[in-house]
Copies of this chain bind each other. A is one copy, B any other.
């Protein structure tokens, strides 16, 4: 997605530890029209997959998932993060290790909102090692729903999440793949 590459080059900030901050339109301030265009891109990539529900994870997946859902005309369910181990019977849960925060947290989804008839598109803002996506895959599998695709806004191609998931056969598409992330030099993979 050329316009997303342009936005990242113009507004993204590279920080120590391969961090790409896109706070001006995606992670703190939200640009609704641009997020809508990102939703249209996801629709173009997955429109033939008979998606019944979009699954994402709080916080920063919500905006892009919601705009995609507006175009797909399906609900979003966002997994909730919690450090609590007080997990009740009415939820599907999984553990996720966060490299950024160096801790394990639980993610959870109410059983009411994910079921074996659902055809799921997983959407998230970033993919690096893929831990959050693994957690979403895990809760989806526990629900019996089918994973039709995984849509990522910004994939860090120099980390292993994307290549591992593709090798396992997941239909993973990223709007942009960053192959190099240095201050003043952000390189994207040709797609």
A-side residues, CB < 8 A to B, are: 23-25, 28-33, 35-36, 58-59, 62-63, 66-67, 69-70, 73-78, 80, 109-110, 112-113
A63 to B76, CA, bound (A): 10
What is the chain B residue whose CB lies nearest that of A56? B30
A58 to B30, CA, bound (A): 12
Count copies of this chain in the complex.
2
Known: A35-B66, A36-B70. A29 touches B113 (CB 8 A): yes
A73 to B30, CA, bound (A): 11
Contacts A58-B58, A59-B59, A59-B62 known; 9 new A-B pairs at CB < 8 A: A28-B78, A28-B80, A28-B110, A28-B113, A29-B77, A30-B76, A30-B77, A32-B75, A36-B70
Q: B69 contacts A66, CB within 8 Å?
A: no
B residues near A109, Cβ cutoff 8 Å: 28
A83 to B58, CA, bound (A): 17
A70 to B58, CA, bound (A): 20
Q: Name the distance in Å between A61's Cβ and chain B's nearest Cβ.
A: 10
Q: Name the distance in Å between A158's Cβ and chain B's nearest Cβ.
A: 27
Q: A73 contacts B33, CB within 8 Å?
A: yes
